[in-house]
């Protein structure tokens, strides 16, 4: 009973709850419906209101004109009361939407700009401002209107013609309301008192815009309009933007804050000034009228300002700012203040470039990008930088262009030189003083001479390092030096620009000559002693001069250097090399550089490079006096003793500048290095203990057998003792004395055959000099043969055996490895290969007319086996014509092809073989002519006393023997120098003496008395010994000629009875070039 009543109650409560919830839900529905209706009604009301506002605006300002071109003037319209337009516009701004109302806003802008031309207060839009009731609201309204213009400028695309028209409208509006010069009202007499207030009104408006990103808007528009593949801004638009950018600055009287923002936001736009000059010359005039270049440079000259600007812009856009400043400097040469360039502009550019270096990295990395001016760069590019790089490079190139160089460097140098001492007064060669002992008579005389020299120098007024003139020049040079260090990818352009202006480099040389005796050598050394990091601007001046001079000498041909001598005379090069030689010597020996890291020192590297360029030029074609390169202060005995002790200065000197040491001492160093290596390898006679490599060769197949047996021999075995056994034509062993002579004969005969041009492995130049044949590939295994020849020649040099093989100097330069260096010029050594071709290429270089008239292309034809083969100097070279612009490249490529490309494989094979025997480090002791002397003997007259002193006698002859005395007397009195050389070749197969004299001739020179017939003589017979010893006389051997065995350096001399007979027979034998043939 109870459960049933309980169930009814629960059901009732649930029904009641459900009814209550239903009522609540219904109430919510009603409220929601009301709210929705309210929103909809409100939206409809607003839409009606907006529509009414828009209709009112459209009725007031109907569409009357279509878009025209950028240059089309605005069409006149009927003006309405300004107050009415203002009220409608204010209501429009209440409901303004940027995308929807774009066209309306442009109509408004066009209209109110037109209204400014009216002098009626009621019609001009500025007239509203004059109504006290609306003044403050109108100012706020104009600020809003102009800000909306800025918003539109940020989103419009200059590449779109329609958008470009809109951009012009907004720019015109901004121009109209940021200055009063277009307001007709201000020209009325009644309003003269209001002009100041209206100008302040414009300043107020611009201040508001500035704080809302006005400059950022203009920068964005400039980037989109100028930094693209196609330039979209035209004269009107660019002029307007530049005008708008200048107005806040002028209004604020160039305050530091605004000038900072202007430089950062506007002047850093890539190639802005370039396009201003090209598109809008009026803008350049505006810059000039406000002295913008002077003000910007003066502002940036303060360290704090420059740091703020650079840290804001960082690397890429800082370089763009620098490029714009450089072009302004170029344009304002005749208008800027005198002090703007020196020192202000110079210091600003130097600091900018120096700051850019922190972003330059040495090599490619994950975080680096390739910059076409700076190299690997730690910053990335945005979309605007790559299209501007070409023009950016053109802007920067103005820094080393002729007009700016003349302004910055040439004119100041000329003024200083004209006002001070002349170049000749400071350029004379002077030897530095030498510490000597007081009791030495020679020392006393030398000191007296030096004292007299010093007195004469004291009468000359030399400039001192640190003087105003020197500091000014050093700072300018420091700027260009920093440019070379920072803008690595245009380094060649900078050097070319500096060198092309001959008067600049020569004037700088003349200025250096005024710094003291020997170009201020002592002053620079004293400065280096206290400034070991070489950071002083004076050192950067020296580095710049050395780098430019190195480039200049490298591109100078023989006609320009030796014949024309304009502007540099040969005496200038002599004085220059004297200064460099002594500076490098004293800085090394005085340890003024850190000798462990000397190669990375920029000052040493630059001066050392120029020194080597001048030295190698002198080696190729001499212009200096004898022994010019030797340093007189070096005492050879003491120097060599210190070198053996391992003293660092002496080691560095031998490594870097061996030419300062006498050639003979360097040859002794070379021989000592060979001897030390033999000891290390156990190849001395005592260590070998009679062990040797035996080679059996057939005379008929000398080269083939030698190549087969020695070609694969390890270099260590070839450096050791090699014995040769000859097989004659009958297949029998030839008798040979167990000395080095048989090997020498094998070496001589091998070299004689392989260098025979008929074999086509080598060719001869017009001067009878040898070089690898370009067509040697017709010979089987020609590269292996070249490697074998290199090994054989290396063995001859290793053992000190001189062989009469004259090589072309360009080929020896490649053997020395000089062609691997960056500053090697192929055209310089072309005369050693083909003088006619050199003259032809020099003619092309100096050709004054249009070189294309010669119809040359980047290709060369060669006749090979009766066929014409064409080689292209560059890919597709047959179709590339030679023009005035690329002719320098053509002549260098042609020289490179003839001297390297054609014979590259042959030369590399030869060098590979040569260097398996001779350590390349040993070769660095010698120049190209000195290497030839090492191979073929000394290029000096035959020293008979030295030869006689080291002669051995056999067969009864001795030094006092009558025939021997006649021999020396005939050679001394009757033979010419040429005949004496032929005599030496007759007995040793080489016409030149050994480099260190006959004490080092192997085997030693010997003379043997011969009494039997030539066909019976076997060398040292008992009969010839006895007869020679007792001087047993026989009938005078009138029909017998002197003979020789060149393999043993042996002269076989009959016991003549008359001096005249000996003279005539010896002369006949020598001039008949007899030797082996008559033995």
Query: How many other C-beta atoms can be found within 10 angstroms of the C-beta atom of residue 798?
Result: 21
- Tokens at 142, concatenated: 């104009």
The gap between the terminal CA atoms of the chain, to the nearest Å, is 159
Residues 514 and 426 sit within 8 Å (Cβ to Cβ):
yes
**Do 105 and 155 contact (CB within 8 A), yes or no?**
no
Element (H, E) at 954: strand 952-954
Q: DSSP secondary structure string, 563-632?
A: II--SS-HHHHHHHHHHHHHHHHHHHHTT-S-GGGGGG-HHHHHHHHHHHHHHHHHHHS--S-TTTTS-T
In the numeric block, the tokens 């209107």 are attached to 145
Distances (CA, A) of 340 to 308, 335, 337, 685: 21, 10, 5, 77
3-state SS class at 723? strand
CA distances from 978 to 869, 877, 982, 984, 1065 (A): 43, 49, 6, 10, 17
How far are the Cα atoms of 74, 75, 106, 164, 165 from residue 66, in angstroms, in the given order? 10, 10, 11, 14, 10
Q: Looking at beta carbons, which pairs linking 700-703 to residues 24 or more positions away fall under 8 Å?
A: 700/729, 702/746, 702/749, 702/750, 702/753, 703/750, 703/753, 703/754, 703/785
Q: How far is CA 191 from CA 127, 200, 350, in A?
A: 11, 15, 52
Side-chain-side CA neighbours of residue 63 (13 Å): 6
Asked if residue 294 lies in contact with residue 336, where contact means CB atoms within 8 angstroms, the answer is yes
Per DSSP, helices labelled H in 630-662 are 636-644, 648-656
> How many Cβ atoms are within 10 Å of 781's Cβ, its own excluded?
11
Structure token pair of residue 948: 């006689």
Distinct helix (H) and strand (E) counts, the chain: 48, 12
Say if CB 251 and CB 203 are below 8 A apart: yes
Long-range contacts of residues 341-345, Cβ cutoff 8 Å, at least 24 apart: 341/407, 341/408, 342/408, 342/412, 342/472, 342/476, 343/472, 343/475, 344/297, 344/298, 344/301, 345/297
Question: What's the distance, CA 753 to chain centroid?
Answer: 44
What is the Cα–Cα distance from 167 to 152, expressed in whole angstroms? 8
Q: Is 990 helix (H, G, I), strand (E, B) or coil?
A: coil
Q: Which residue has the tokens 């001297």?
A: 899
DSSP conformation letters of 193-262:
GGHHHHHHHHHHHHHHHHHTTHHHHHHHHHHHHHSSSS----HHHHHHHHHHHHHHHHHTTS-HHHHHHH
586 φ, ψ (degrees, to nearest 5): -70, -35
Name the 3-class secondary structure at 732: coil
HEC string of 796-843 equals: HHHHCCCCCCCECHHHHHHHHCHHHCCCCCHHHHHHHCCHHHHHHHHH
Residues designated as active site: 1047
Are 178 and 205 contacting, i.e. CB atoms less than 8 angstroms apart? yes
Under a CB-based contact definition with an 8 Å cutoff, are residues 715 and 919 in contact? no
Q: Is the peptide bond before 343 cis (omega within 30 degrees of 0)?
A: yes
Whose CA is closest to 1066, among 1033, 1037, 1050, 1043?
Answer: 1043
């Amino acid at each position: 009973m109870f459960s049933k009543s309980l169930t009814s109650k629960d059901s009732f409560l649930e029904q009641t709850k459900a009814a209550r919830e239903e009522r609540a839900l219904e109430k919510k529905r009603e409220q929601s419906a009301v709210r929705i209706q309210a929103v909809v009604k409100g939206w409809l009301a607003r839409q009606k209101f907006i529509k009414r506002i828009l209709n009112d605006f459209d009725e007031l300002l109907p569409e009357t004109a279509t878009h025209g071109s950028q240059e089309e003037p605005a069409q006149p319209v009927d003006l309405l009361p300004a107050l009415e337009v203002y009220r409608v516009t204010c209501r429009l701004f209440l409901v303004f939407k940027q995308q929807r109302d774009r066209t309306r806003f442009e109509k408004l802008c066009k209209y109110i700009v037109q209204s400014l031309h009216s002098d009626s207060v009621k019609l001009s839009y500025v007239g509203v401002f004059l109504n006290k009731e609306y003044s403050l609201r109108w100012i706020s309204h104009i600020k809003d209107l102009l800000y909306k213009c800025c918003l539109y400028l940020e989103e419009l695309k200059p590449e779109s013609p329609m958008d470009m028209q809109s951009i012009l409208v907004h720019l015109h509006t901004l121009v109209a309301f940021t200055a009063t010069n277009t307001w007709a009202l201000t020209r009325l007499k009644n309003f003269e008192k209001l002009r100041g207030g209206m100008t302040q009104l414009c300043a107020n408006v611009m201040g508001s815009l500035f704080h809302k990103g006005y400059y950022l808007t203009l920068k964005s528009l400039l980037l989109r309009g100028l930094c693209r593949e196609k330039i979209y801004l035209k004269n009107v638009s660019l002029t307007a933007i530049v005008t708008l950018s200048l107005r806040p600055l002028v209004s604020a009287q160039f305050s530091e804050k605004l000038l900072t923002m202007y430089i950062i936001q506007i002047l850093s736009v890539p190639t802005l000034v370039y396009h201003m000059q090209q598109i809008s010359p009026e803008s350049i005039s505006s810059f000039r009228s406000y002295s913008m270049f002077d003000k910007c440079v003066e502002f940036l000259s303060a360290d704090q300002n420059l740091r703020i600007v650079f840290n804001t812009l960082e690397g890429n856009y800082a370089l763009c700012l620098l490029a714009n400043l450089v072009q302004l400097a170029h344009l304002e040469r005749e208008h800027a203040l005198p002090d703007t360039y020196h020192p202000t502009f110079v210091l600003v550019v130097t600091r900018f470039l120096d700051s850019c270096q922190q972003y330059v990295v040495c090599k490619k990395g994950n975080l680096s990008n390739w910059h076409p001016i700076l190299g690997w760069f730690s910053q990335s590019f945005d979309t605007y930088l790559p299209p501007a790089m070409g023009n950016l490079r053109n802007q920067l190139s103005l820094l080393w262009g002729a007009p700016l160089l003349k302004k910055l460097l040439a004119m100041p140098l000329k003024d200083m030189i004209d006002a001070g001492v002349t170049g000749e007064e400071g350029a004379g060669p002077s030897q530095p003083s030498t510490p000597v002992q007081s009791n030495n008579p020679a020392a006393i005389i030398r000191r007296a001479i030096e004292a007299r020299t010093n007195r004469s120098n004291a009468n000359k007024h030399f400039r001192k390092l640190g003087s105003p003139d020197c500091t000014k020049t050093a700072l300018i040079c420091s700027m260009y030096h920093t440019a070379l260090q920072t803008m690595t990818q245009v380094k060649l352009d900078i050097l070319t620009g500096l060198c092309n202006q001959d008067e600049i480099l020569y004037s700088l040389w003349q200025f250096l000559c005024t710094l003291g005796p020997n170009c201020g050598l002592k002053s620079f050394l004293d400065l280096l002693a206290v400034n070991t990091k070489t950071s002083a601007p004076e050192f950067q001046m020296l580095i710049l001069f050395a780098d430019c001079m190195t480039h200049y000498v490298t591109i100078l041909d023989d006609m320009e250097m030796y014949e024309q001598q304009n502007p540099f005379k040969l005496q200038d090069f002599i004085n220059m090399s004297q200064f460099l030689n002594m500076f490098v010597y004293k800085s090394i020996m005085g340890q003024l550089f850190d000798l462990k890291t000397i190669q990375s020192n920029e000052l040493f590297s630059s001066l050392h490079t120029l020194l080597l360029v001048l030295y190698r030029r002198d080696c190729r074609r001499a212009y200096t006096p004898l022994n010019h390169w030797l340093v007189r202060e070096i005492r050879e005995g003491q120097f060599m003793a210190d070198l053996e002790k391992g003293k660092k200065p002496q080691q560095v000197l031998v490594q870097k500048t061996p030419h300062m040491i006498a050639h003979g001492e360097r040859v002794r160093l070379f021989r000592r290095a060979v001897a030390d290596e033999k000891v290390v390898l156990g190849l001395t006679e005592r260590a070998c203990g009679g062990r040797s490599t035996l080679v059996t060769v057939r005379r008929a197949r000398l080269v083939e057998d030698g190549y087969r047996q020695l070609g694969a021999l390890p270099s260590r075995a070839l450096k050791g003792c090699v014995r040769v056994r000859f097989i004659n034509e009958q297949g029998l062993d030839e008798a040979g004395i167990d000395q080095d002579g048989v090997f020498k004969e094998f070496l001589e005969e091998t070299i004689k055959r392989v260098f025979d041009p008929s074999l086509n492995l080598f060719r001869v130049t017009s001067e009878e000099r040898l070089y690898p044949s370009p067509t040697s590939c017709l010979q089987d295994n020609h590269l292996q043969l070249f490697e074998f020849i290199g090994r054989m020649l290396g063995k001859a040099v290793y053992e000190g055996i001189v062989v009469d093989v004259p090589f072309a100097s360009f080929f020896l330069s490649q053997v020395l490895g000089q062609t691997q260096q960056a500053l090697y010029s192929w055209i310089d050594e072309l005369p050693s290969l083909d003088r006619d071709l050199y003259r032809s290429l020099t003619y092309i270089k100096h050709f004054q007319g249009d070189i294309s008239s010669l119809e040359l292309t980047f290709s060369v034809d060669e006749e090979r086996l009766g066929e014409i083969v064409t080689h292209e100097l560059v890919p597709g070279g047959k179709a590339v014509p030679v023009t005035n612009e690329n002719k320098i490249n053509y002549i260098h490529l042609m020289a490179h092809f003839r001297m390297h490309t054609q014979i590259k494989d042959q030369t590399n094979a030869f060098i590979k073989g040569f260097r398996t025997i001779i350590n390349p480090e040993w070769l660095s002791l010698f120049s190209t002519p000195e290497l030839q002397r090492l191979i073929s003997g000394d290029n000096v007259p035959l020293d008979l006393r030295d030869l006689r002193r080291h002669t051995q006698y056999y067969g009864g002859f001795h030094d006092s023997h009558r025939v021997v005395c006649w021999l020396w007397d005939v050679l001394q009195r009757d033979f010419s120098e040429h005949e004496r050389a032929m005599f030496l070749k007759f007995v040793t197969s080489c016409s030149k003496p050994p480099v260190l004299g006959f004490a080092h001739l192997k085997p030693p020179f010997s003379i043997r008395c011969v009494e039997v017939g030539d066909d019976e003589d076997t060398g040292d017979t008992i009969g010839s010994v006895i007869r020679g010893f007792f001087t047993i006389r026989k009938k005078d051997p009138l029909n017998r000629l002197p003979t020789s065995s060149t393999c043993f350096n042996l002269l076989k001399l009959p016991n003549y009875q008359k001096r005249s007979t000996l003279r005539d027979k010896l002369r006949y034998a020598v001039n008949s070039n007899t030797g082996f043939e008559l033995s």
